[in-house]
Amino acid sequence: MVDLDPLSSSYNVDKGSADLRGRTYPQSVFLRVDKNSIPANDAEYNIAGHWKFFDATIGVRDDSPTGGMLTFELFLDGNPLPAHELSIGESRELHIKVAGALRLKLKVTFTAGEYYDNYSYGVWGNARLTN
């Protein structure tokens, strides 16, 4: 997944190593959001129906400010899957069937928090597509 470049993104997509709950995920996608200027960020990928599963560990990057809450959403061909709302120190494993889908969209939204200028990062840890 880290090797794929997004077709589009609303702000910026970072790739590389990220820490969630003290664990390092070396091949991650992370999307920067904040309460004021970037309340949501997304990245859409062309997966061309070639893959069966999308796996990732989602969460708020460890160096983000405390008190924030982010919502993680995943869309297949524009159709939303159930969203997950997480704060720092929480994570969730995803194993999503993507067979036949042409587009995969990852979205992070700043849901709650008191920080206006401090950025938080929604991480898709070790994001990968498999057959």
Q: Which domains does the chain have, with CATH numbers?
A: 8-130 (2.60.120.1060)
Q: Kindly report, residue by residue over 50-95, the tens digit of the pLDDT.
A: 999 999 999 999 998 877 799 999 999 999 999 999 999 999 999 9
**Tokens 């969730």 belong to residue:** 92
In eight-state DSSP terms, residue 88 is: T
CA distances from 47 to 13, 44, 78 (A): 17, 9, 13
Closest CA to 52 of 124, 104, 2, 6: 104
At 12 the pLDDT is 84
Its pTM stands at 0.93
Question: Do 110 and 40 meet the contact criterion of CB atoms below 8 Å apart?
Answer: yes
| β-bridge partners, 110 | 70
Closest CA to 59 of 128, 130, 120: 120
In eight-state DSSP terms, residue 99 is: T
